[in-house]
């Protein structure tokens, strides 16, 4: 039996408020616990988006009554809310800035809209960028110019990881995360994921080339965190004429990474650093006392959507071999999950910024 610290997922789309048919605070935190995640940071691109005090309260009220694991909620950067979100920083996971195409309404196309956020948001509070390719280069320049640390979400391209590496060497305060789907899938896998429904392969950032995937593995020392970007949409939505981008990921991250450990592609310590030590530091998260995850290391099994807790009902990794079954999760002294069953009530989860 392998004992891990409670895992931290800094990038989760909870879907409540506004789209609870995809997921809500109850189902997402069940999926988290089943995946060994004891703290999740929730993204603000809900309906309505979380971008001021009233909408933050809306999300936190739902979380308070329904969450079964610990959490914090990001606020989103909008065109005219820099002072408002700065004042909410102590209650939020951090500020999320959508600088590239995404699902939802929060998006800052114009660079003049970035500046007030870089100036107003407290320097000690995390700023997370959805920024791809050249937009990412611009975000890193803002970080250097305004001397504000930034965390780059879901890095997927060789040009991105190489620039982050060079920026770190220059002393620019940039950190980053990589998602399991960008480590284990390339665009060549889209036909197999799609089963004739191209929408199933849609995710932002898009699945990249094998050369991009390889560059993430060869530059693993540049990757600070793993994050799921758990973005549940129902199969009906994925198979529709206008498929929303996004993959669920909370319940498949650990078995895929432990399989990679088994294959000698990374070490267990690499995993613990990126799913616990580094996100805890980058996002200023408190210690969770008496919290750990027990994994049956030797268990090999097939990943099946039908065994997942997420409400969305599918996974791009259907039929893949996973290694390591989460047997038990103890959260703040209480057994929260054991042998496939959730054992803590709705509302047990705590707001780590509360």
Q: Which residues bind ligand NCD (CB under 6 A)?
A: 13, 45, 102-103, 130, 203-204, 229, 231, 244-246
Closer by beta carbon to ligand NCD, 148 or else 181: 181
Closer by beta carbon to ligand NCD, 232 or else 349: 232
Closer by beta carbon to ligand NCD, 139 or else 266: 139
* Distance from C-alpha of 179 to C-alpha of 2, rounded to nearest angstrom: 23
Q: How far is the CB of 130 from ligand NCD (least distance, A)?
A: 5
State the helix-helix crossing angle for 134-146 and 158-169, rounded to 10 degrees. Answer: 20
Q: Which does 126 bind (CB under 5 to 8 A by kind): Zn ion, ligand NCD, none?
A: none
List CB contacts of 40: < 8 A, sequence separation 6 or more. 8, 9, 10, 12, 14, 28, 29, 32, 69, 70, 71, 250
Backbone angle region of 332, left / alpha / beta, with phi > 0 → left and psi within -120 to 50 → alpha: left
Q: How far is the CB of 14 from ligand NCD (least distance, A)?
A: 10
Q: Which does 103 bind (CB under 5 to 8 A by kind): ligand NCD, Zn ion, none?
A: ligand NCD
Closer by beta carbon to ligand NCD, 79 or else 245: 245
Q: Which does 324 bind (CB under 5 to 8 A by kind): Zn ion, ligand NCD, none?
A: none
Closer by beta carbon to ligand NCD, 103 or else 301: 103
Q: How far is the CB of 344 from ligand NCD (least distance, A)?
A: 26
Q: How far is the CB of 308 from ligand NCD (least distance, A)?
A: 17
Q: Which does 212 bind (CB under 5 to 8 A by kind): ligand NCD, Zn ion, none?
A: none
* Distance from C-alpha of 126 to C-alpha of 89, rounded to nearest angstrom: 9
187-188-189-193 Cα dihedral, nearest 10 degrees? 80
Task: Give the CA distances from residue 189 to residues 156, 184, 209, 352, in Å, rounded to whole numbers and listed in that order.
Answer: 15, 9, 10, 38
Closer by beta carbon to ligand NCD, 251 or else 294: 251
Q: How far is the CB of 10 from Zn ion (least distance, A)?
A: 10
Helix (H), strand (E), coil (C) string for 282-321: HCCCCCCCCCEEEEEEEEEEECCHHHCCCCCCCCCCCCCE
Q: Which does 204 bind (CB under 5 to 8 A by kind): ligand NCD, Zn ion, none?
A: ligand NCD
Query: Could you tell me the sign of the dihedral formed by the alpha carbons of 192, 197, 198, 203, in that order?
Result: negative
Closer by beta carbon to Zn ion, 26 or else 177: 177
Q: How far is the CB of 153 from ligand NCD (least distance, A)?
A: 7
Q: How far is the CB of 121 from ligand NCD (least distance, A)?
A: 20
Q: Which does 45 bind (CB under 5 to 8 A by kind): ligand NCD, Zn ion, none?
A: ligand NCD
Q: Which does 72 bind (CB under 5 to 8 A by kind): Zn ion, ligand NCD, none?
A: none
Under the rule (CB under 5 A), what is the footprint of Zn ion? Answer: 229
Task: Give the CA distances from residue 174 to residues 127, 188, 206, 218, in Å, rounded to whole numbers and listed in that order.
Answer: 10, 30, 22, 19
């Amino acid at each position: 039996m392998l004992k891990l610290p409670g895992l931290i997922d800094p990038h989760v789309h909870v879907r409540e408020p506004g789209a609870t048919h995809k997921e809500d605070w109850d189902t997402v935190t069940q999926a988290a616990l089943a995946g060994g995640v004891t703290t999740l940071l929730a993204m603000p691109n809900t309906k309505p988006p979380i971008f001021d005090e009233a909408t933050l309260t809306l999300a936190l009220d739902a979380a308070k009554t329904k969450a079964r694991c610990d959490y914090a909620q990001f606020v989103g950067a909008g065109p005219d809310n820099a002072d408002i979100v700065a004042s909410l920083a102590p209650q939020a996971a951090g500020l999320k800035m959508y600088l590239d195409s995404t699902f939802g309404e929060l998006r800052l196309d114009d660079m003049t809209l970035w500046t007030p956020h870089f100036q107003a948001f407290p320097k000690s509070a995390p700023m997370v960028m959805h920024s791809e390719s050249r937009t990412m280069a611009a975000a890193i320049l803002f970080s250097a110019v305004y001397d504000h640390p930034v965390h780059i979400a879901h890095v997927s391209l060789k040009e991105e990881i190489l620039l982050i590496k060079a920026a770190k060497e220059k002393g620019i305060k940039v950190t980053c995360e990589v998602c399991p789907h960008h480590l284990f899938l390339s665009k060549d896998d889209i036909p197999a994921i799609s089963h004739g429904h191209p929408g199933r392969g849609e995710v932002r950032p898009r699945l990249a080339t094998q050369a991009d995937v390889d560059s993430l593995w060869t530059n693993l020392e540049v990757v600070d965190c793993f994050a799921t970007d758990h973005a549940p949409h129902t199969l009906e939505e994925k198979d529709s004429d206008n498929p929303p981008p996004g993959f669920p990921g909370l319940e498949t991250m650990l078995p895929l990474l432990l399989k990679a450990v088994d294959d000698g592609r990374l070490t267990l310590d690499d995993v613990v650093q990126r799913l616990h030590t580094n996100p805890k530091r980058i996002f200023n998260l408190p210690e969770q006392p008496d919290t750990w995850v027990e994994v049956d290391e030797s268990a090999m099994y097939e990943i099946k959507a039908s065994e997942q807790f997420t409400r969305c009902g599918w996974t791009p990794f259907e039929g893949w071999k996973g290694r390591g079954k989460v047997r038990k999760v103890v959260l703040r002294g209480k057994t929260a999950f054991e042998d496939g069953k959730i054992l803590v009530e709705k509302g047990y989860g705590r707001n780590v910024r509360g």
